[in-house]
Amino acid sequence: MIAVDTFIIILLFTLFAFSHTLLASNKTKKAIAEKLGEKIAFYRVFYNLSSLLLLIVFYAVAPKPNVIVYDLQFPFDIITFALQVLSLVGLVWATRLINLKEFIGLSQIKRYLSGEYKVEDLDEKLTLKIEGAFKIVRHPIYLFSILFLGLRPTMSLFYLVMFLCIVVYFYVGSIFEERKLVEAFGDKYREYQKNIPRLVPFAKSCRRKPVSKIDSGSSLE
182-213 tens-digit pLDDT: 988 899 999 999 999 999 987 765 544 444 34
The mean pLDDT of the chain is 87
Find all residues with CB under 8 Å of 194, minimum gap 6, and list them: 206, 207, 209
pLDDT digits (tens, 9 = 90+) for 43-78: 999 999 999 999 899 989 999 998 999 999 999 999
Q: What is the arithmetic mean of pLDDT over 24-28?
A: 87
Look at residue 20 and tell me whether its pLDDT is greater than 90.
Answer: no
Cis ω before 75 (30° cut-off from 0): yes
Domain ranges of the chain: 2-213
pTM, two decimal places = 0.84
* Distance from C-alpha of 197 to C-alpha of 182, rounded to nearest angstrom: 15
Q: What is the arithmetic mean of pLDDT over 94-117?
A: 88
- Please, which pLDDT band fits residue 127 given cuts at 50, 70 and 90? confident
Strands (DSSP E) contained in the chain are 68-71, 154-156
Q: What is the arithmetic mean of pLDDT over 110-122?
A: 86
Amino acid letter for position 1: M
Amino acid letter for position 136: I
Q: What is the arithmetic mean of pLDDT over 158-162?
A: 94
Burial class (CB in 10 A: 0-12, 13-18, 19+), 41: buried
Can you say how many angstroms the Cα of residue 28 is from the centroid of all Cα atoms in its chain? 19
